[in-house]
Amino acid sequence: MSSLLACITLALQTINSFESMNTKPVLLTVTGARPQFIKSAAVTREVASSGWRQWLVHAGQHMDDGMGQDFLAELKVPMPDARLHPSQSGRTPRLADMMVGLAKQMDEVRPNAVMVYGDTDATLAGALAAHHAQVPLIHVEAGLRSGDRAMPEEHNRILTDQLSDLLCTTGPTATAQLIQEGVDPSRLTEVGDVMLDVALAAGNLAKARLPKGWPEPPSSVLVVTLHRPATADNPVKLKGALDALELWAERTGGWVYFPVHPRTKACLERFGLQLPNCVVDPGPIGYLDMQSALCHADCVLTDSGGVQKEAWFQGTPAVILRNTTEWTELLKIEASELFDPELLVDSNGVQALTGRLQLKRSVPSVVGSGLFGEGLAAQRIVAALDRFLG
């Protein structure tokens, strides 16, 4: 009799907890590309222990497992509840495919809020779909501006900020930008950088290991990531960048560790370009390997939005192969400098870039800089969610 009662009590408890789970407000989170899986890692964990239930949608911008699914496992982000498969090629048709898929998800799931990260096409597709479905929109990494209107990311950022109801900024520069653009301060919350949350959590582990395929010490190592169209899509500039790597290795006797992005790999093949012998290409690597490479590097050359900042987080200076950056703070504190890829069209430019790739100069510490928070961005985002929409 008593065991029957215990069974009934347990069944009732299970039903109650299921019902309370189902009465929690639902946050639909849109990811779709490698940097977004990383950014979502900290927030997803925090949301899981909050009063919100989350519904994760992978919008399918990066389909390759080395660029997507493997990251989720490594960063312990739960598998997506839904995965879209944009099937058309070309930016506009893919954006449309993602919007249609996300609109369908919003119709079925009926979320109380939608969260988007960063500045990719998946970000914009999520923002537009949320706006059409009249669901409150939260933008994580709001207020960044590079000033370069030729970059699709700049349009994605501006449009997403315009559509958002709650704008979570990474620090004072982004907050000031939005205020200057006339955004109502009640829509703003300065939370810090979610990438700093993840990088600080990975820091010690990254220092204690070497990434896969890392060249034998004690030689110097230059870590390189390149995938933006401004360099990768132009055979002359891409060749100029490779020549600079070769010249740097000749001068220093060092190695270049260059996890080649699939997009860049396709460009190299299309242009018939070979990586110089000084280059170790492990292919796209995992997040911890990347952090480890950045902290063991002597210098970093990158055109990535995330890697330029992570280099600083891991204490290594970077040369940004772009003529603008949305992370202008890095230039002010001299953690990074810009190098215009337009200059790579001749040997003077190649020489100039090589000269800028200095070995291990020191950079100011990120902790206490006040620029991107203290690694508590995810907690602050969830608190803001409760305040704003709870």
Contacts with ligand UDP, residue ranges (CB under 6 A): 34-35, 38, 225, 259, 284-285, 287, 290, 304-307, 310
Between 38 and 357, name the residue whose CB sits nearer to ligand UDP: 38
Find the shortest distance in angstroms from Cβ 198 to ligand UDP.
8
Sign of dihedral through CA atoms 238, 240, 243, 248? negative
Q: How far apart are CA 95 and CA 103, in angstroms?
A: 12
Find the shortest distance in angstroms from Cβ 307 to ligand UDP.
5
Q: How many CA atoms lie within 13 A of 93 on its CB side?
A: 6
Find the shortest distance in angstroms from Cβ 371 to ligand UDP.
17
Q: How far is CA 338 from CA 259, 317, 335, in A?
A: 21, 12, 11
Residue 232's region, left for phi above 0, alpha for psi from -120 to 50, else beta, is alpha
Q: What share of the chain is helix, strand, coil (3-state, %, to 5)?
A: 50, 15, 35
Find the shortest distance in angstroms from Cβ 320 to ligand UDP.
11
Find the shortest distance in angstroms from Cβ 41 to ligand UDP.
10
Between 35 and 143, name the residue whose CB sits nearer to ligand UDP: 35
Find the shortest distance in angstroms from Cβ 302 to ligand UDP.
7
Contacts of 96 (CB under 8 A, 6+ apart): 88
Q: How far apart are CA 148 and CA 230, in angstroms?
A: 12
Find the shortest distance in angstroms from Cβ 293 to ligand UDP.
8
Find the shortest distance in angstroms from Cβ 38 to ligand UDP.
4
Contacts of 369 (CB under 8 A, 6+ apart): 333
Find the shortest distance in angstroms from Cβ 102 to ligand UDP.
20
Residue 60's region, left for phi above 0, alpha for psi from -120 to 50, else beta, is left
Residue 301's region, left for phi above 0, alpha for psi from -120 to 50, else beta, is beta
Say which residue the tokens 């205020």 belong to. 179
Between 111 and 305, name the residue whose CB sits nearer to ligand UDP: 305
Contact 97, 84 (CB under 8 A): yes
Between 135 and 318, name the residue whose CB sits nearer to ligand UDP: 318
Q: How far is CA 246 from CA 179, 250, 268, 301, in A?
A: 45, 6, 16, 13
Between 53 and 309, name the residue whose CB sits nearer to ligand UDP: 309
Between 165 and 233, name the residue whose CB sits nearer to ligand UDP: 233
In the chain, DSSP assigns E strands to 26-31, 53-58, 82-83, 113-117, 137-142, 166-169, 188-190, 221-225, 255-257, 279-280, 299-302, 318-320, 336-338
Q: How far apart are CA 31 and CA 276, in angstroms?
A: 35
Find the shortest distance in angstroms from Cβ 26 to ligand UDP.
27
Measured N-to-C along each axis, helices 305-313 and 194-207 cross at an angle, to the nearest 10 degrees, of 60
Nearest Cα residue to 355 out of 272, 248, 281, 271: 248
Between 190 and 310, name the residue whose CB sits nearer to ligand UDP: 310
Between 183 and 196, name the residue whose CB sits nearer to ligand UDP: 196
Between 50 and 156, name the residue whose CB sits nearer to ligand UDP: 156
Between 126 and 284, name the residue whose CB sits nearer to ligand UDP: 284
